[in-house]
Structure 1
Amino acid sequence: MYNDFFGFKSSPFTIAPDPRFLFMSERHRDALAHLLYGIGSGGGFVMLTGEVGTGKTTVCRCLLEQLSSDVRLAYILNPKLDAIELMATMCDELGIQYEQGERSLKAFTDLLRDYLLKNHEQGLNTVLMIDEAQNLSVEVMEQIRLLTNLETNDKKLLQIILIGQPELQELLAKKELRQLAQRITARYHLRPLNLNETASYIGHRLRIAGLQRPLFKSSAIKRIHQASGGIPRLINVISDRALLGAFVEKKNTVTEPIVKRAIPEVLGDSHTAVNQASKNHKLVWFGVSFAILLTVAAYIVITQYPQSIKKETMVDSTAQPIQKALDDSRINNKLKNEPLTKSNDELAQEFWGDQSWDREGLRSARNLFALWGVSYYPYQASEPCDFALDYNLSCDDGTADWDYIKQLNRPLNLKFSTQESGSFWGTLKAIEGNKLVLQFGDHEVRMTQEKLNPLWQGEYRLFWKMPDGFIEHTKYGDTGPVVRWLTDAIYTIDNVDISPADRFSKKVEDWLMLFQMENGLVADGILGKHSVIMLNNNVVTNIPKLEKGSVMTQQGEQ
C-alpha cells in the first residue's frame, strides 16, 4: 500500500523469511560460529536458544548453507514425537529403509548404528538438527542422549543440534537430564538486538527495499527498540505499521509520535515487550503487590525467628506461601544443628532437591535481583547483565577468595560444581557470624564456609551501582560528573573538601590510593568498579550487603 509513496521496490518489513533481507548482527554471527564449532568438534550436543522472533531460523538457514558436502543432515521440525516416532523420522530424513509399521526401538537403533558406521567409514559426518526442541519430552531427550553413545574410539558418530526457545534451558536443567546437559559441547543464547543493532537492522532492510535516504527519526528508532525489546520480528511489525501511519498522514519521515500510535495497534495495549514508558509502572506494581506480603512475612519472621530478622529486612520476590517458608525454616534449623557428613554430591542434592538445577545462573540472577528490589523473570527478559543496565546496575564477575568476597560485602551469585551433579549456581545472601546464608532456587540453607569450600572454586557474579557518568579507569587529570561523585564521597568519608570538585587532582589521587590500600585493592589511584563498590559501602546506607548489621532494602542503591 505504501511502497509507491516511499519509493520501495518491495515491502521492507515483511515477516516472511526472505533471504534477500538477511541481516546477520554480531550476535547472529556469534551464534553461527558456535554451531559451526560444535559440528566440527567431534560429536555431542550443540544448543542454540533464543526468544521467539530473535532470529534462530535465520542462523539455521545460514548454517545449512555452510554445511560441507560431507555432511548428512536429518532436520526435524516437529519434535512432538515419542521415541519410536523420533527414530522413524530420523530414518526418513536420512533415507534409511525400515519395515512398515516397525515399533521396535532396538530395530531402529540397529539401523541407525549401521548407517552411522557406514558414513564414518566413508568420511561422512551425520548431523541431527531438532527445531523447537523445548517441546521434546524428557523420555525422548533421554533416547536422543543414548544415540550419542554410538561412537568410535575417537569420535561420536552422531552430532546433535538442539534449537529452541528459552524453555529448552529449563528442560535441560532437570535433574534427570543432567547427563545430557553435561554432553553439550557448545551452547549459545541468541539475545535481542541492542539499540545500535536495531538502527542498523532497520536501515539494512530499507536499503534492500530500494530506499537510500534516512526514513526513521532516531527518536522513532529508539521507541521501536524499547517496544520490541530488540526482537527482529517485533521490529518488523511495528515498523510496518509505522510506515502505514506515515503514509496515511502523508509524511515523508517516520517520527516518534507515529511509532507511539503504531505500537498498541500491533502489540496491544497490554503488550509485554520492553519499553521505557512502562518501567516505572512495573516498579510501582511491584511495590504495591508485595506490600501486603512483606508485612505479613515480616510479622511471622519477627515473632518466630528473631535472630533471622536481625540480618534480613527484605522479603525475596520469589518467596513461596508462608506455610512452605515455615516448613523450609524447620528443615534449615535441622541442617544448622546437625553436622553435615554428606559427600559433595549429596550436599548438592540437599540444596536442590526436586527443583530444576540452575545450570545457567538465571534463577540465581532472579534471587539476586530481588535483593536489589528488582523483579526479574528469566527467559522473558534479556540476559541478567543487560537487564541490570535498565536499573543503572552493572555486573561484576570473576574469581575471588572468601576474604575478597567479604571485603566487597555484597550479596552475589556463586558457581558450584561436583563430579556427578555438574555445575550449578546459588546466591550468597548474607553472612551471619560463621554461617553463610545461601539460596538455591526456593531453598534457603545456612552452613559454614569450610563445608562449602569443596563445592566452590571461586567463580562469582554480583551487581553494583554505577555513579552517573561513570567511566572505567577514571584517573589523574580527568574531569566530569564521576570525578565530582568521587570528591563528594571523599567529603562524606573524611570531611575533606576538594576544589575544584570535578577535577581529578593529585590530592584526589593520593586520597584514593590510601583508600585502596586500606581496603585491600590495588593501590594505583585509578577509579575502577571495585573502588566504586568499596566507596559505596562507606557512603550509601540503603544497599544490600553481606555482613550483619547491613541495611537491606527494596529501594536499591540511590
Structure 2
Amino acid sequence: MYTKFFALREKPFSSSPDPTYFFPGATHQQALDLLLDGVTRETGIVLLTGDQGAGKTTVGRRLLTIVPAGTETVSILDTRLTPLELLAAICDQLRVNYDAARDGIPQLLTALDTHFVNLQAANRSCVVLIDDAERLASETLLQLRELYDLDGRRPRVLHLVLIGESAMRRTLATQALQPLTKVIDIRAQLDSLSAEEIGPYVLHRLGVAGAHQQYFSEEALLALHELSHGLPVRINQIGDRALLAAFAEEQRLLTAELVRWAARQTSAPATPPPEKPRPVPQAATRSLTPWLLVLAGIAVVALVWNFAKPVQRSRQHAVTATKPAPPPPPVPAVATSPQTPPTSPPHPLAWPKERDPNLSRQDAFKALFSRWQLEWTAEAQEEPCDFALRHELVCGLQQGNWIGLITLNRPVIVELRVEGQTYWAALLKIEHEQATVALAGSTRQVTSAEVEQGWTGRFFLVKEPD
C-alpha cells in the first residue's frame, strides 16, 4: 500500500524471518560467526538462545544460506515431536528411505548412518537446524545425543544446531539432560539491538527493500528503540505501522509522534472474534464469511446424516423381513438372470477418478493459501514453500502423529493413502469429531477418524512466524 509512496520494491519491515534482511549488527554477527564456526569444524552441538523476538530464526535462516557448498541442510520447524517423529522428519528432508509403517528408532538410525557414510565418501556434510528447540520434550532432546553419537567420524559429517529461547539454558542445566549438555561445545546468546544500532538497522532494511534514504527522523529512531526495547520483531511491527500512518498523512519523514502512535496500535489487544467452535487451523482472514460457510456445511452434513440413519435402518428391516427360505429344486424351464452384487459406497476421502492424483499437492496448497487470500499457481514454477516465505509465512515438511496434529491447531496439508492411492489434501478444521478437508478442488465434510485412518503421518506445516 505504501511501498510506491516511499519508492520501495516491497515492505521493509516484514515479520517473516527472511535471511536477505539479516542485519550484521554486533550481537547478531557474532552469533552468526559462532554458528558458522560450529558447523565447519570439529565441534559438538551448537546452541543459540535469545529472548522471543530477538531475531534467532533469522540468524538460523542466514546460516543455512552461507554453509559450505555441497552441505545438506535440514530445518525442523515444528518441535512438538516424539523421538521417532523427529528422526523421521530428518529422514524425510534428507530423502532417506524407510518404512513408515514398520521401522522404529533403531532402523531409522541405521538408515541415517548409511546416508552419513555416503556423504563422507563424497566429502560432504550435513547441518540439522532445530528451531524452537525449547519445545522439545526431554526424551526427544536425549534422542539428539544418540543421533550425535551416531556420527563418530573424523571429520564429522553431522552438525546439530539448536535454537531456543533464553529459558532453554536452565532446562539444559537439569540433571536429566546432562548427557546432551556435555556435547554442546558452542553457546551463543542473542541480545537485543543497542540504541546506537537502531538507526543502521532501520536504514539497512529500507535499503534492502529499495530505499535510498532514511525515512525516520532521529527523534523517531530514539522513540522506536525505547518502545521496542531493541527487539527486531517489535521494531518491524512498529516500523511497518508507522510507514502506513505516514503514507496516510503524506509524510516522507517519520516523527516520534507517528512512531508512538504505531506502537500503541500494534500493542493493543485484538478485538475478540465472534464466538465459534474451536478449529484445528486458525483462518487468517478477518471475515466472518468462512465461519458461516463452515457452519452451514456442518448443518448440511448433520441433516444428511440424520436422514441417512432411518433409511439405513429401514433397509436393514427390509432385508430381515424378506430373507428367503431355502430355495426349491431348480425348474429348468424358467431362466433367471443373475443379480448384480451390491457395490460398496466410495470412501469419503477417495480421490476422484477423473483427476490426476499427481495434481493433489498443488490443489491442496491452493486451498490452504486461500485461507490467507493468496493465489498460488503451479504454472508460475515457484515451489509452494518459496511462495509462502515470500508472503511472510513459514512452510516445511514434517512428520507427526494425530494427537500432535490436533494440538498444533493450525491448517496443514496432509498426505493420505486411501483405497491404494497416495495423495495430498488440505486439512482445514476439526471440531466435534468432524473434519473439513479440501480435496481435488472441493471441500468435504468427513469424520476425523476417517482422516486419521488414511493419514500417512507426513504433513506440510504452513503458518505465520511466531
TM-score when normalising by structure 2: 0.54
Q: CA RMSD in A?
A: 2.4
Does the alignment pair 1:216 with 2:216?
A: yes
Query: What is residue 129 of structure 1 aligned with on the other side?
Result: 129
Aligned-pair CA distance for 1:137: 0.5
Query: What is residue 195 of structure 2 aligned with on the other side?
Result: 195
What SS is found at the alignment partner of 2:253? coil
Partner AA of 2:266 in structure 1: V
Does the alignment pair 1:35 with 2:35?
A: yes
In 2, Cα distance between equivalents of 1:214 and 1:112 = 50
Partner AA of 1:113 in structure 2: D
Correspondence 1:157-172 to 2 at 5 A: 157-172=157-172
Query: What is residue 11 of structure 2 aligned with on the other side?
Result: 11
Asked if structure 2 preserves the Cα contact closer than 8 Å seen for 1:43 and 1:158, the reply is no
Aligned-pair CA distance for 1:34: 0.7
> Measured at CA, do residues 105 and 235 of structure 1 come closer, stay the same or move farther in structure 2, by a change above 3 Å?
same
Aligned residues: 270
Query: What is residue 258 of structure 2 aligned with on the other side?
Result: 258
What SS is found at the alignment partner of 1:257? helix
Query: What is residue 71 of structure 1 aligned with on the other side?
Result: 71
Correspondence 1:145-294 to 2 at 5 A: 145-152=145-152, 154-268=154-268
What SS is found at the alignment partner of 2:235? helix
Asked if structure 2 preserves the Cα contact closer than 8 Å seen for 1:43 and 1:160, the reply is no
Asked if structure 1 preserves the Cα contact closer than 8 Å seen for 2:216 and 2:253, the reply is yes
The superposition leaves residues 159-184 of structure 1 with CA deviations (integer Å, 9 ceiling, x where unpaired) of 21111222322321221112211211
Partner AA of 1:120 in structure 2: Q
What SS is found at the alignment partner of 1:187? strand
Structure 2: gaps (5+ residues) = 271-466
In 1, Cα distance between equivalents of 2:153 and 2:264 = 58
Asked if structure 1 preserves the Cα contact closer than 8 Å seen for 2:224 and 2:238, the reply is yes
In 2, Cα distance between equivalents of 1:203 and 1:197 = 10
> Measured at CA, do residues 65 and 208 of structure 1 come closer, stay the same or move farther in structure 2, by a change above 3 Å?
closer
Asked if structure 1 preserves the Cα contact closer than 8 Å seen for 2:219 and 2:256, the reply is yes
Per mean C-alpha deviation after superposition, the further-off stretch among 38-47 and 10-19 is 10-19
Query: What is residue 23 of structure 2 aligned with on the other side?
Result: 23
Partner AA of 1:146 in structure 2: E
Asked if structure 1 preserves the Cα contact closer than 8 Å seen for 2:60 and 2:129, the reply is no
Aligned-pair CA distance for 1:118: 3.2
Asked if structure 1 preserves the Cα contact closer than 8 Å seen for 2:15 and 2:237, the reply is yes
Partner AA of 2:65 in structure 1: E
Asked if structure 1 preserves the Cα contact closer than 8 Å seen for 2:48 and 2:56, the reply is yes
> Measured at CA, do residues 152 and 252 of structure 1 come closer, stay the same or move farther in structure 2, by a change above 3 Å?
closer
The superposition leaves residues 22-66 of structure 1 with CA deviations (integer Å, 9 ceiling, x where unpaired) of 432232221111111111232420011222332223222222222
> Measured at CA, do residues 28 and 101 of structure 1 come closer, stay the same or move farther in structure 2, by a change above 3 Å?
same
Aligned-pair CA distance for 1:19: 5.2
In 1, Cα distance between equivalents of 2:8 and 2:155 = 51
Aligned-pair CA distance for 1:269: 7.9
Correspondence 1:235-384 to 2 at 5 A: 235-268=235-268
Asked if structure 2 preserves the Cα contact closer than 8 Å seen for 1:43 and 1:157, the reply is no
Query: What is residue 475 of structure 1 aligned with on the other side?
Result: none
In 1, Cα distance between equivalents of 2:125 and 2:19 = 27
Partner AA of 1:264 in structure 2: R
What SS is found at the alignment partner of 1:149? helix
The superposition leaves residues 429-469 of structure 1 with CA deviations (integer Å, 9 ceiling, x where unpaired) of xxxxxxxxxxxxxxxxxxxxxxxxxxxxxxxxxxxxxxxxx
Asked if structure 2 preserves the Cα contact closer than 8 Å seen for 1:50 and 1:165, the reply is yes
Partner AA of 2:129 in structure 1: M
Aligned-pair CA distance for 1:9: 4.0
In 1, Cα distance between equivalents of 2:18 and 2:112 = 35
Asked if structure 1 preserves the Cα contact closer than 8 Å seen for 2:45 and 2:183, the reply is yes
TM-score when normalising by structure 1: 0.45
